[in-house]
A and B are shown apart, each in its own frame.
Chain A
Amino acid sequence: MKNLMYLKNVVTLQVDKNKCTGCGMCMDVCPHKVFKINSKHVVIQNRDACMECGACSLNCPVNAISVNSGVGCVNAVINAMLGRNNGECCGGPDTDNKATESKGGCCC
């Protein structure tokens, strides 16, 4: 099966070539093969495949990658647009709040 692709030209991923040391960590953690190594540093070979999970930027030891990461959960985004609930879907980092936690329908 061909790999599924979402919308084009919307992803916020950026690599700072001057900072990148070519360690390859981002290539290990990326679940969509977005990067490839190009002599000394990585380049983005498949930008539209990026799902903005943030694994690469969090695991880059020199902070060479930036991406606006987050879970693409519809309830969460709608809530955020309406300014409710900090845009968390099923309980954010602070999951003590039972009310937000049990709101099903998405990932977890």
Chain B
Amino acid sequence: MNKFEFPIIKEHVNCGCNVMTAISENIIPRLNQAFVRGFVNTPAGRLPRISSELVWQDHWGSIRARWGVGRTDYKIDPGLYALGNPDNNSSVFVSANYKMSFDHLRSALKGRSGWILVLDTKGINVWCAAGKGTFGTKELLRRIESSDLKKIISHNRLILPQLGAPGVAAHKIKQISGFNVHYGPIRAKDLPDYLDAGFKATEQMRIKTFPLQERAVLIPIELVEAMKAYLLLAIIFLIVSGISGPAGFWTNTATFGLFAAMALFCAIIGGAVLNPLLLPFLPGRAFSIKGFSIGIVIAMVLLYLRNMNMSGWPERIESMAWLLIISSISGYLAMNFTGCSTYTSLSGVKREIRWALPLEIACGAVGLVLWISAVIIA
């Protein structure tokens, strides 16, 4: 086993990076990881065996990761795993070492055997990692070598998720390692059909959609992030209303502060929850416009429910302030969601940010000044 000698690679790599420098980690994934069910003996050593059945620990882990608990650590050892009882003719599936990506893949392959080659993507899912290049040509070549894949299988077919394509140049893999990269379907659940059709994906398997369920699972992490900022903001608003209002501290916080805390909360729900859920039905193409629209509706509803006497200036100014503040917060959070969406382009996001961010900041700032004035002159 001479994994440090691989002279062919050095000659062909033209990405300016030396593939050989980084092979230093252990090449076989540990057998004592919680999801491993025994091992198989191969010419490359004892490889961990895994099953396509997920158990409750796997599901629990996914839920935690979705809520941002231990998310950056939700990873498994990179390297080669045996699914079921694979032989030298079984397919090789390439995945990321984000545990959720790995679980998705194996659970889609119920009743089948195969090899799963896990790349070290630092615990990040296939698509994001491909975008950054950690699920990439270099790492795949390195992993093919360090796992001794050639000793284990007798064909040269690797199946990669289509969403890994932004990081991997299939023709370079072929040139350098001799392996043929086949891009499988986008959704793991289509894999059985793809395999049965002889590695052919239908057009529909190749199109990335963004259905309700996929949008919904992204909400928790957005919400958790936004709530951190919310707590700080709400406390500031409560204190400011307490000191600047016309009556005593506690009366003031009750009149202005509580409404403020609730308005801010609703603004966040608008941007981080309603926007993802209602995405296709909201007006405009730019996400900020979608967020602004939600914000305006929320502000209207809140002000209506508050049932204020709009004849005096303080009330009018305060209402105006909330219209501005709520829509700017919800617009900003909605804009933030472009990073999670599956159809926004970098050039588009740049264009949107260029006009939307200044607008959001301006609305927020003007709203804040108006609100403070309203509280002071009340």
Contacts and interface: CB of A to CB of B under 8 A. Distances in A.
Interface of A: 1-8, 10-12, 25, 28-33, 49-55, 58-59, 61, 68-78, 81, 88-93, 95, 101-102, 104-108
B168 interface: yes
23 contacts: A2-B280, A4-B279, A4-B341, A6-B285, A10-B348, A33-B203, A33-B206, A52-B345, A55-B165, A58-B165, A69-B166, A72-B345, A72-B348, A73-B339, A74-B336, A74-B349, A77-B349, A78-B353, A95-B122, A105-B339, A106-B336, A107-B340, A108-B125
Contacts of B279: 4
A5 B224 CA distance: 27
A77 B344 contact: no
Nearest to A26: B165
Interface of B: 68, 71-72, 122, 124-125, 127-134, 162-163, 165-171, 183, 186, 201, 203, 206-211, 221-222, 224-225, 279-280, 285-286, 335-336, 338-353, 357
Contacts of A72: 338-339, 341, 344-346, 348-349
A68 B347 contact: yes
The 8 closest A-B pairs by CB, nearest first: A106-B339, A73-B339, A55-B165, A31-B208, A72-B349, A29-B165, A108-B128, A52-B345
Contact of B134 (A4, A55, A95): A95
B251 to A, nearest CB: 37
Nearest to A72: B349
Contacts of A2: 280
Given A72-B345, A101-B122, A106-B339, 7 more contacts: A3-B343, A4-B341, A12-B347, A72-B348, A104-B221, A107-B127, A108-B129
A7 B132 contact: no
B132 A71 contact: yes
Contacts of A29: 162, 165, 183
Given A8-B285, A104-B221, A59 B165 contact: yes
Nearest to B169: A58
A5 to B, nearest CB: 6
Contact of A74 (B208, B285, B339): B339
A25 B286 CA distance: 31
Nearest to B356: A74
A37 to B, nearest CB: 13
Contacts of B127: 107
Nearest to A76: B339
Contacts of B347: 10-12, 52, 68
A3 to B, nearest CB: 7
B134 A70 contact: no
A6 B343 contact: yes
Given A92-B132, A105-B225, A6 B168 contact: no
Contacts of B134: 93, 95
Contacts of B170: 25, 59
B7 to A, nearest CB: 24
A101 to B, nearest CB: 6
A107 B169 contact: no
Contact of A53 (B131, B168, B339, B348): B131
Contacts of A4: 210, 279-280, 341, 343
Nearest to B120: A95
Given A2-B280, A106-B336, A70 B206 contact: no
B71 A104 contact: yes
Contacts of A31: 162-163, 186, 206-208, 342
A49 B206 CA distance: 14
Contacts of A107: 125, 127-128, 131, 339-340
